[in-house]
Every structure is written in structure tokens, then in C-alpha cells.
Amino acid sequence: MSNAMRTPAGAINVERYQGAVAEGRFRRLWNANAPGYLFLLPWLIGFFGLTLGPALISLYLSFTDFDMLQSPRWVGMANYVRIATADPKFSAAMHVTLTYVVFSVPFKLTFALLVAMALNRGLRGLTFYRAIFYLPSLLGGSVAIAVLWRQLFASDGLVNAALSQVGIEGPSWISHPNYSIYTLVALSVWQFGSPMIIFLAGLRQIPQDMYEAASLDGASKFRQFYKITLPLLTPVIFFNAVVQTIDAFKAFTPAFIISGGTGGPINSTLFYTLYLYQEAFGNFRMGYASALAWILVLIIAVFTAFSFLTSRYWVHYDD
């Protein structure tokens, strides 16, 4: 070996030797990690192929004029400038979406928490109820539910039939611009299943002896809720609030189905994502729609960052 090192050929040999060592290490590493990479592969493909790749392409497209049939044409900031200065539909869509977020998230969380607390009482057949209450969330995005909602809130729907029993003649909730958004809020609140399950898990984490001690000290049920349940649940509430807010910003299907894709009547159900969709696929403005999408990403990021920044003042972690 030492002989070989002196000759030029030997130097190559050394490299080969080092290469062989590296190869060996590579093989060892590979052998150790291969199953891991193999199991990661579906996610990796999904992440790079279906999430990161398209996201970067859409970022590029947001600076272009792209009609999906011809190649994109670079227009710089023009799309963003139009959004900021000359697009009344943008502000209309923003208004509708913010209304939806502001109403649907708190109501949904409150409702989910109430049901979770009711279910937490060691009810008989608990799993059954859990499944039943979760069902709407599973069906949530489906066309059938949106169609059902039309049946409920149309002028001759069930809601008005019930109202007419007490002498009130209701409008066609779903097709009246003043009310239509709230029927969609109601639809979202009804789909309280997934935050409820998470609340239920959170409630289970609270030690029972705390309640026992509190009731020995004479604390009322309401006081127990206010002083024990709520503070110990804040991490879960925080999590649910962030997730539900992001979801609400991205809501699309119900409005699409119920308004037939128009966002009507009079833009009252023109969710941000619905407008984005109209621009992209209805009007062949994929570049502009991409810019709209990135604005939405920005808005969601700001909201989420804000939640995290304020969380330190109200979220209590058990340590």
C-alpha cells in the first residue's frame, strides 16, 4: 500500500481507496436510512410535485399575463398594481371573506367547545355521539351538503316552514344578498366536528382532581369552567382558532355550489377563492389569479403571525 502511494498511479489508487471508503459509508448510511426515505417518498413526491413546484410556478405566473392557451408574457408588477388600485371585485371579495371569517370562526369554536363539554361527561354511547357529530365535517365540502343547504334556506325551505309556524314570513335566505353569507356561516358552524374532537382530547387532559379540589372549596360550575377549564384549554383553543381561521380564508366549495359559481346574488357570496377561480378559469387570467393567490397567502400569513404574537398573552402552557 505504501509503495503504491509514491507513484502517480498510486495517488489514483488512494483516491480510489478513499472513494471506496466513502462508498462504504454511503452504503452504510443508505442501508440505515433507505426504509426511511422509502416511506418518505410519497410525501416527498407530493410536496415537491404537488405543493412546492406549483407554488413556485404560480409565483412566477403572478408576474405574467397568462391565458393558459398561449405562453405566459412577463408584465412585472402590473397584476399586483391592478389588485391594489383598480379592482372593485377584489375589495368586494375581501369584504365577503372577512365577514365569513369573523362570524364563522368564533361561532364554530364556541359551538364545538359546548358540544365537546357535553360529550365529556362520561355519556353512555359516547363513541356513537362522537361519530354522529363528526359526520357533518366529513361531508362538509361535498356537493350534496351544499344542495341540502339550498333546500333548507330557499324561500319554501324547511327554515321558512318552521318560521311560518310562528307567523313569520321569511325571505329566500340563500338567494338574498343581505342574508346569503350568513347561511354559509351557519353551514360552517354546523361542520364543527374536527375542532370538537380536538377540544374533547384537550378536555381529557385536564386532571379531574383539580375539579374535585375546586368543588370542595365551593367553586360553582361556572367558576370551575372559567378558572380551570378555559385556562388549561387555551393551547387547544389557540390551535383550533389558527387552523379554523386559515380554513375559513380558503373556503370555496359551499359558495361555489350554492351560487352556481357566480358569487351572487350581487357578489354577496363572492368568496376570495371563488373570485380567484373565476379570474383563472372563467376569464382566462391565470397570471392575475396567481397574483390574487399570493395576496391571500400574505394575508393568511399576517393573520397567523398576529395570532402567534398575541398568543403569549393568553395561551397558558402547562409547565
Q: How far apart are CA 140 and CA 133, in angstroms?
A: 12
3-class state of residue 65 by DSSP: strand
Nearer to another protein, 280 or 293 (CB): 280
- What's the closest the beta carbon of residue 72 comes to another protein, in angstroms? 10
Q: Rounded to whole angstroms, how far apart are CA atoms 152 and 123? A: 31
CA-based nearest residue to 262, from 273, 248, 275, 249 = 275
Among the residue ranges 130-138, 150-158, 161-169, 246-254, the one whose residues contact another protein (CB under 8 A): 150-158
Q: Is 30 in the site for another protein (CB under 8 A)?
A: yes
Nearer to another protein, 130 or 285 (CB): 285
Read off φ and ψ for residue 65, nearest 5 degrees. -105, 110
Which residues, numbered 57-76, are part of the site for another protein (CB under 8 A)? 67-70
We find the least distance from the C-beta atom of residue 39 to another protein, in angstroms, to be 13
How distant, in Å, are the alpha carbons of 122, 221, 226, 318 from that of 211? 15, 9, 12, 16
Rule CB under 8 A: is residue 25 a binding residue for another protein?
Answer: yes
264 binds another protein (CB under 8 A): yes
Q: Which is nearer to another protein, 9 or 69 (CB)?
A: 69
What residue spans of the chain are helical by DSSP H? 2-6, 8-45, 53-61, 78-85, 88-119, 126-139, 143-153, 158-165, 180-190, 193-205, 208-216, 221-224, 230-249, 253-258, 272-277, 286-314
CB nearer another protein, residue 267 or residue 273: 267
Rounded to whole angstroms, how far apart are CA atoms 68 and 281? 9
- For the record, the C-alpha cell of 187 comes out as 353551514
Q: Could you tell me how many residues of this chain bind another protein (CB under 8 A)?
A: 39
| Residue 33 contacts another protein per CB under 8 A | yes
User: What is the nearest approach in angstroms of another protein to the Cβ of residue 5?
Assistant: 24
Would you tell me which residues interact with another protein (CB under 8 A)? 22, 25-26, 29-30, 33, 37, 41, 44-45, 67-70, 150, 154-156, 171-172, 174-177, 259-262, 264-267, 277, 280-284, 286
